[in-house]
Amino acid sequence: MVRRGGVRRWLSTVGFYGLAVMFMLPTVFVFYWMITLSLKPQVEATAYPPSFVRFSVSMAGYREVFTKYPFLLYTWNSLVVAAGCTALGLAVGLPAAYSIARWRQQRLALAILVARIIPGIAYLIPWYIFFRRLRMVDTYGALILTHLIVGLPIIIWVMISFFEDVPADLEDAGLIDGCSYFGVFWRVALPLVKPGIVATAILSFVFSWNNFLFSVILAGRETRTLPIAVYTMISYEEINWGTLAAAATLITLPVLLVALVAQRHIVTGLTFGAVKQ
């Protein structure tokens, strides 16, 4: 019986990691292909069939990204817009999520969900007319506000579940001790949902960082974000795959770093922010 139990545990472990590798392999392969493509000269980048192991290493794609295009300006624009969208989304979304979770405002939650389900292109023309009349086209403010269409519903809906898990007894104790509802929200609820705040901040940042639709219409020469920058690298004369892959690698790198750094904070928050009953 002991041997059978050990064999079953070994098979379950092998099966689990086998399935994990099977599901992760396509994603890892795409990243590997992108990185190797960025390191190839143009001749080998367009070769068929492609070589994934043996190829000549060239940094020409990365040099062209920084010399031919204002890539640092595009990076700064994406950082400002994504950070601004995340900060404003948290400032508005956290109180909204707490209110919905605390007082069970199901209709408001449903309205936010419907606003998120509607395709973003439906907002495009009204947003453009609105910001054009306000002379806000080609400004950070217009991009941040439009990116909130994606970021804010995500923040609210993810945080609702976290606030619902906060024990009501702790909130009632805070009210009895003299705290206002805002004081309970600030001093009791928020410290207990730090892992959720970090997770939603990452999601909002990533969605804003990768947003293309609103930026392609509302961004100008001085406020182009990274997805628009990559789009402008495609011309009718040629498609430099090495340069495109290098730009895509540089765009992906900050998001991966943010996720790796925030992962440690999520684990720390789950460990030290747990509520013991």
Establish whether the linkage from the previous residue to 95 is cis, with ω within 30° of 0: no
Residues 127 and 30 both lie in one domain: no
Q: Output the pLDDT for position 273.
A: 42
Task: Say if 185 falls within a structural domain.
Answer: yes
Task: Say if 115 falls within a structural domain.
Answer: yes
Task: Say if 134 falls within a structural domain.
Answer: yes
Reading the chain (277 residues) residue by residue, the pLDDT tens digits are: 446 666 778 878 888 888 888 888 888 888 888 888 888 887 777 777 877 777 888 888 898 888 888 889 999 999 999 999 999 999 999 999 999 998 888 888 888 888 778 888 888 888 889 999 999 998 999 999 999 988 899 899 888 888 888 888 888 888 888 888 889 999 989 988 888 888 888 888 988 998 888 888 888 888 989 988 888 777 766 677 888 888 988 988 888 887 777 766 555 544 444 444 4
Q: How many domains does the chain have?
A: 2
> For residue 110, which phi and psi values (nearest 5 degrees)?
-65, -40
Task: Say if 269 falls within a structural domain.
Answer: no
Residues 16 and 76 both lie in one domain: no
Residues 133 and 32 both lie in one domain: no
Residues 89 and 217 both lie in one domain: yes
Please, what's the b/e burial string for 15-41 (b: 16 or more CB within 10 A of its CB; e: otherwise)? eeeeeeeeeeeeeeeeeeeeebbbbbb
Residues 154 and 109 both lie in one domain: yes
Quick one: residue 178, left, alpha or beta (phi over 0 = left, psi -120 to 50 = alpha)? left
Q: Output the pLDDT for position 4.
A: 63
**Closest to 227 (Cα-Cα) out of 246, 248, 243, 242:** 248
Q: Output the pLDDT for position 95.
A: 94
Q: Output the pLDDT for position 266.
A: 54
Task: Say if 263 falls within a structural domain.
Answer: no
Q: Output the pLDDT for position 185.
A: 92
Residues 161 and 223 both lie in one domain: yes
Residues 29 and 82 both lie in one domain: no
Give pTM, 2 decimals: 0.83
Domain of residue 153: give its range.
Answer: 69-232
Task: Say if 95 falls within a structural domain.
Answer: yes
Residues 79 and 210 both lie in one domain: yes
The CATH number assigned to the domain holding 118 equals 1.10.3720.10
Q: Output the pLDDT for position 264.
A: 65
